[in-house]
């Protein structure tokens, strides 16, 4: 069985009547880059705060690095680096001095400061005041702080939040380097799938505190069936014929074609030919039949949208 760096079972957290996290069971494999995704208010930060022992769960269990996190046993946290929302830094101190404060608190070797600065590529800016740092530099210094304890697991809450495209790219490259060269398991939250899909090996998608999907990115792609897009001269007639024959179909307008288009949900590849034959039999002119694979972003939006079947079924 695969080793898990993080495992939660039925993790739940209420705030008064609000159920921020609802029976969440996560499985984060050791060595993975796990994208923890969900729209605003989904429960990501609340989950992360429970993983780090910053707030107590209302119910359920957190296991970190193979051992349950309890009120009395938190020794695993010594091997966990974290960045929750924006890092708290002393603006009047330099980057180096900020790291020094934490290094002294942790009583970690002095050489760790230089090492952490080099990993996050801030060695050249170490003597500048934080006040002069850009947001991207502050986020990277926050990561350097988390690296001082030589973690085997990093938990990052929206590390790219507020960064410009170049900053996002740098952060992505840095996270990837940490995983591949230092073999650190990375658990990072985001509300954008596009931000993590290039680096994540696994994703967990939540909304309203509940897990909607967990697995690898190829698993996520499999999760959604393809569609066939049909361009015909009489969409309403085509819709009737296809629905009658048992296909799930709807009409959507496609501006690029200037026609209405019938979208048909495809359950098996062979049906493209069957759809064509059926429509031609009924005397319709079929201009185009095109298989469409939804993008990961479409799948994410479908899963987290208020009309998603998964949510309604939950």
From the list Mg ion, ligand ATP, none, partner contacted by residue 239 (C-beta under 5 to 8 A by kind): none
Q: In the bound complex, which residue of the shown chain has the CB atom lying closest to Mg ion? A: 45
* Helix 165-181 with 135-147: angle, nearest 10 deg: 20
Q: Does 88 sit near ligand ATP (CB under 6 A)?
A: no
Q: Does 54 sit near ligand ATP (CB under 6 A)?
A: no
What are phi and psi for residue 169, nearest 5 degrees? -65, -45
Stretch that binds ligand ATP, among 13-21, 75-83, 95-103, 266-274 (CB under 6 A): 13-21
From the list Mg ion, ligand ATP, none, partner contacted by residue 35 (C-beta under 5 to 8 A by kind): none
Task: Please count the other Cβ atoms lying within 10 Å of the Cβ belonging to residue 127.
Answer: 10
Pull the structure tokens for residue 31. 């060595």
Choose which of 45, 94, 190, 207 interacts with Mg ion (CB under 5 A): 45
* Shortest Cβ 256–ligand ATP spacing (Å): 34
* Shortest Cβ 82–ligand ATP spacing (Å): 14
Choose which of 37, 42, 65, 153 interacts with ligand ATP (CB under 6 A): 42
* Shortest Cβ 302–ligand ATP spacing (Å): 18
In terms of phi and psi (left: phi > 0; alpha: psi -120 to 50; beta: otherwise), the region of 93 is beta
Compare residues 169 and 191 and give the one whose CB is closer to ligand ATP: 191
**Binding to ligand ATP in span 156-215, by CB under 6 A:** 191
Q: Does 44 sit near ligand ATP (CB under 6 A)?
A: yes
Q: Does 81 sit near ligand ATP (CB under 6 A)?
A: no
* Shortest Cβ 257–Mg ion spacing (Å): 41
In terms of phi and psi (left: phi > 0; alpha: psi -120 to 50; beta: otherwise), the region of 288 is beta
CB 81 within 8 A of CB 155: yes
Q: Does 46 sit near Mg ion (CB under 5 A)?
A: no
**Binding to ligand ATP in span 116-135, by CB under 6 A:** none
Q: Does 35 sit near ligand ATP (CB under 6 A)?
A: no
d(CA 132, CA 136): 12
Cα separations in angstroms, 182 against 7, 77, 147, 202: 22, 18, 10, 18
Angle at the Cα of 260 (from 256 to 264), degrees rounded to 5? 105
Stretch that binds ligand ATP, among 41-49, 86-94, 126-134, 289-297 (CB under 6 A): 41-49
Half-sphere exposure of 157 (CA within 13 A, CB side): 18
Does the CA dihedral 91-92-94-98 come out positive or negative?
A: negative
Chain positions contacting ligand ATP, by CB under 6 A: 15, 18, 20, 38, 40-46, 191
């Amino acid at each position: 069985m695969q080793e898990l760096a993080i495992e939660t079972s039925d993790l739940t957290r209420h705030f008064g009547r609000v159920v921020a996290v609802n029976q969440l069971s996560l499985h984060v494999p050791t060595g993975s880059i796990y994208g923890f995704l969900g729209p605003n208010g989904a429960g990501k930060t609340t989950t992360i705060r429970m993983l780090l022992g910053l707030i107590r769960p209302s119910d359920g269990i957190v296991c970190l690095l193979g051992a349950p996190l309890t009120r009395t046993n938190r020794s695993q946290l010594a091997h966990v680096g974290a960045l929750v929302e924006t890092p708290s830094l002393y603006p009047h101190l330099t980057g180096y001095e900020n790291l020094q404060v934490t290094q002294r608190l942790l009583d970690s070797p002095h050489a760790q400061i230089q090492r952490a600065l080099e990993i996050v590529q801030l060695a050249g800016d170490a003597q500048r005041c934080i006040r002069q740092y850009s947001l991207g530099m502050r986020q990277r210094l926050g990561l350097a702080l988390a690296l001082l304890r030589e973690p085997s697991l990093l938990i990052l809450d929206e590390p790219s939040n507020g960064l410009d495209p170049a900053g996002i790219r740098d952060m992505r490259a840095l996270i990837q380097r940490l995983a591949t060269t230092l073999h650190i398991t990375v658990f990072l939250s985001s509300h954008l799938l596009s931000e993590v899909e290039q680096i994540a090996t696994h994703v967990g998608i939540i909304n309203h505190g509940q897990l909607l999907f967990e697995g690898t990115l190829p698993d996520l792609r499999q999760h959604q069936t393809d569609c066939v897009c049909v361009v015909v001269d009489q969409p309403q007639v085509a819709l009737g014929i296809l629905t009658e024959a048992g296909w799930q179909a709807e009409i959507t307008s496609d501006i690029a074609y200037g026609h209405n288009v019938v979208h048909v949900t495809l359950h098996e590849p062979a049906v493209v030919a069957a759809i064509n034959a059926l429509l031609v039999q009924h005397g319709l002119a079929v201009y185009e039949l095109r298989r469409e694979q939804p993008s990961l972003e479409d799948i994410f939006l479908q899963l987290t949208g208020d009309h998603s079947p998964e949510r309604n079924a939950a």
